[in-house]
């Protein structure tokens, strides 16, 4: 429904593989002195620093992880980078380099791949990331996109999932559920469009949540903010599969339980109004909706004064002994057992 009908079409075969790589990557800047050699040789070369190196990869498949009927390619490129940077920031590390590998079928003209790389380039410039390599190949059907991100942090600054202790506070950045609801709106408009292609969607009431779905931002600012506040989280993870699922990861790896409070969940007004419209429970959406790319972390209760009142951070609960399990405390003061209802890549339908 967002397709541009007047687009030019240059066949990828016209450029050849090396021409294509050069064409796509020639305008990327190098930002970090740790990048000794970027694109153009058999390997990129990075300088070994005193810091520890963090590495993360994500693989995105058309029809499984993204739908090009409402995901513009520029946004896809941007989001593919964000998803990886988010993992780096969730280690309390700084991101420096990425590699990008793509497989495309002959359905995609050069102009489409240019759009994808425009999004990747915007992400790299905004977040000061060096594109240092990748691989380019063909696919028989659809598009595959894999990004690897590399970053670093001092050994003592790295935060794992396994350090949460009973009495620690549970904190989230930003707000929850928006990306999931944005997807619901886009899916609905796609159905409407399939029935009547003349129908132009009116998405004005959903700008925030659609942006959360199509143009997420990784929380580079949060590790920086925590440093400034003098707070080192005891555990941290990014919210890609939903709050509930991430709480399970932290609790399992830290061998603790948790209690989170429904009334504390940070929700944007557009999340609340769209939940009403779709007849969805906003607490369920906050717990199970994925792709918000906010950070979830635990801090010692002694750090409460340092984080309280910060508009970027919300305390949603606390860590308990493992035997107490994982619970949601409702507004009616009922305690419900939490389930890890995040996305599961191996379920039938995602
Ligand atoms: P090789 O044959 O050694 O795999 P390639 O010819 O595939 O090398 O790649 C040449 C250079 O271009 C390498 O530096 C590689 O990392 C880079 N590169 C290839 N594909 C991409 C891509 N899609 N995005 C960014 N860099 C790429
Ligand atoms: Mg190659």
Do 153 and 174 lie in one domain? The reply is no
Query: Is the CB of 25 within 6 Å of ligand 1?
Result: yes
Asked, for residue 271, whether it belongs to a domain, the answer is yes
Residue minimizing CA distance to atom 27 of ligand 1: 134
Element (DSSP H or E) covering residue 182 = helix 178-195
Q: How far is Cα 58 from Cα 74, in angstroms, rounded to an integer?
A: 18
Do 190 and 288 lie in one domain? The reply is yes
- Pairing between β-strand 144-153 and β-strand 52-61 as defined by DSSP bridges: antiparallel
Do 257 and 305 lie in one domain? The reply is yes
Tokens (6 digits) for 60: 């995105």
Query: Is the CB of 39 within 6 Å of ligand 1?
Result: yes
Asked, for residue 263, whether it belongs to a domain, the answer is yes
Q: Name the residue of 124, 134, 145, 148 whose CB sits within 8 Å of the most ligand 1 atoms, as the mutation to test its pocket.
A: 134
- Atom in ligand 1 nearest the alpha carbon of residue 18: 6
Do 179 and 294 lie in one domain? The reply is yes
Asked, for residue 121, whether it belongs to a domain, the answer is yes
Residue minimizing CA distance to atom 24 of ligand 1: 134
Do 93 and 210 lie in one domain? The reply is no
* DSSP letter string, 244-260: HHHHHHHHHHHTEEEEE
Task: Say if residue 4 carries a ligand binding annotation.
Answer: no
The pLDDT, as a whole number, for residue 7 is 63
Cα distances from 97 to residues 34, 35, 144, 195, in angstroms, run: 9, 8, 20, 44
Domain containing residue 300: CATH number:
3.90.650.10
Describe the chain by its helix, strand, coil percentages, rounded to 5: 35, 25, 40
Tokens (6 digits) for 322: 């493992």
Residue minimizing CA distance to atom 7 of ligand 1: 135
Q: How far is Cα 341 from Cα 305, in angstroms, rounded to an integer?
A: 32
Q: How far is Cα 90 from Cα 92, in angstroms, rounded to an integer?
A: 5
Query: Is the CB of 100 within 6 Å of ligand 1?
Result: yes
Distance (Å) from CA 101 to ligand 2 centroid? 9
The pLDDT, as a whole number, for residue 5 is 52
Distance (Å) from CA 39 to ligand 1 centroid? 7
Burial of 268 (0-12, 13-18, 19+ CB in 10 A): middle
Number of domains in the chain: 2
Per-residue pLDDT of the chain (350 residues; tens, 9 = 90+): 545 555 678 888 888 888 999 999 999 999 999 999 999 999 999 998 899 999 999 999 999 999 999 899 999 999 999 999 999 999 999 999 999 999 999 999 999 999 999 999 999 999 999 999 999 999 999 999 999 999 999 999 999 999 999 999 999 999 999 999 999 999 999 888 888 888 777 888 999 999 999 999 999 999 999 999 999 999 999 999 999 999 999 999 999 999 999 999 999 999 999 999 999 999 999 999 999 999 999 999 999 999 999 999 999 999 999 999 999 999 999 999 998 764 445 554 43
Asked, for residue 257, whether it belongs to a domain, the answer is yes
The pLDDT, as a whole number, for residue 103 is 97
Asked, for residue 7, whether it belongs to a domain, the answer is no
pTM for the whole structure: 0.93
Q: Which domain holds residue 31?
A: 16-157
Asked, for residue 4, whether it belongs to a domain, the answer is no
Do 189 and 217 lie in one domain? The reply is yes
CB–CB of 68/116 below 8 Å? no
Do 103 and 173 lie in one domain? The reply is no
Distance (Å) from CA 43 to ligand 1 centroid? 9
Q: Last residue of a domain, which of 108, 128, 157? A: 157
Do 80 and 183 lie in one domain? The reply is no
Provide CB contacts within 8 A for 335, sequence distance 6+.
Answer: 259, 327, 328, 329
User: CA nearest 152: which of 294, 34, 28?
Assistant: 34
User: CA nearest 90: which of 58, 113, 56?
Assistant: 56
Q: Last residue of a domain, which of 113, 131, 157? A: 157
Nearest ligand, CA of residue 40? Answer: 1
Cα distances from 142 to residues 29, 53, 63, in angstroms, run: 29, 33, 8
Task: Say if residue 292 carries a ligand binding annotation.
Answer: no
Beta bridge mates, 170: 298, 317
């Amino acid at each position: 429904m967002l397709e541009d009908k007047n687009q030019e079409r240059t066949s990828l075969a016209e450029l050849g593989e090396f021409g294509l790589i050069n064409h796509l990557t020639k305008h990327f800047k190098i930002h970090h002195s740790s990048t000794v050699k970027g694109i153009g040789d058999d390997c990129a070369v990075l300088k070994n620093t005193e810091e520890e190196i963090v590495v993360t990869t994500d693989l995105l498949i058309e029809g499984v992880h993204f739908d090009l009927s409402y995901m513009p390619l520029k946004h896809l490129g941007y989001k593919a980078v964000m998803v990886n940077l988010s993992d780096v920031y969730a280690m309390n590390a700084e991101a420096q380099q990425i590699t990008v590998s793509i497989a495309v079928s002959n359905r995609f003209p050069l102009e489409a791949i240019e759009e994808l790389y425009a999004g990747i380039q915007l992400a790299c410039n905004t977040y000061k990331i060096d594109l240092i390599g990748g691989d380019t190949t063909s696919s028989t059907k659809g598009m595959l996109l894999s990004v690897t991100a590399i970053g670093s942090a001092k050994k003592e600054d790295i935060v794992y999932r396994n350090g949460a202790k009973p009495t620690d506070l549970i904190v989230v950045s930003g707000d929850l559920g928006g990306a999931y609801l944005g997807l619901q709106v886009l899916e609905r408009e796609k159905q409407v469009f399939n029935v009547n292609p003349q129908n132009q969607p009116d998405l004005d009431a959903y700008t925030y949540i659609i942006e959360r779905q199509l143009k997420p931002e990784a929380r580079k600012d949060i590790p920086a903010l925590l440093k400034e506040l003098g707070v080192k989280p005891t555990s941290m993870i990014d919210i890609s599969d939903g709050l509930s699922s991430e709480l399970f990861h932290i609790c399992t790896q830290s061998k603790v339980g948790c209690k989170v409070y429904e009334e504390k969940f940070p929700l944007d007004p557009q999340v609340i109004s769209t939940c009403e419209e779709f007849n969805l429970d906003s607490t369920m959406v906050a717990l199970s909706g994925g792709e918000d790319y906010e950070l979830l972390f635990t801090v010692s209760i002694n750090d409460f004064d340092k984080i309280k009142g910060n508009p970027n951070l919300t305390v949603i609960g606390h860590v308990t002994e493992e035997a107490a399990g994982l619970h949601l405390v409702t507004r009616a003061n009922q305690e419900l057992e939490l389930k890890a209802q995040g996305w599961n890549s191996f379920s039938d339908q995602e």
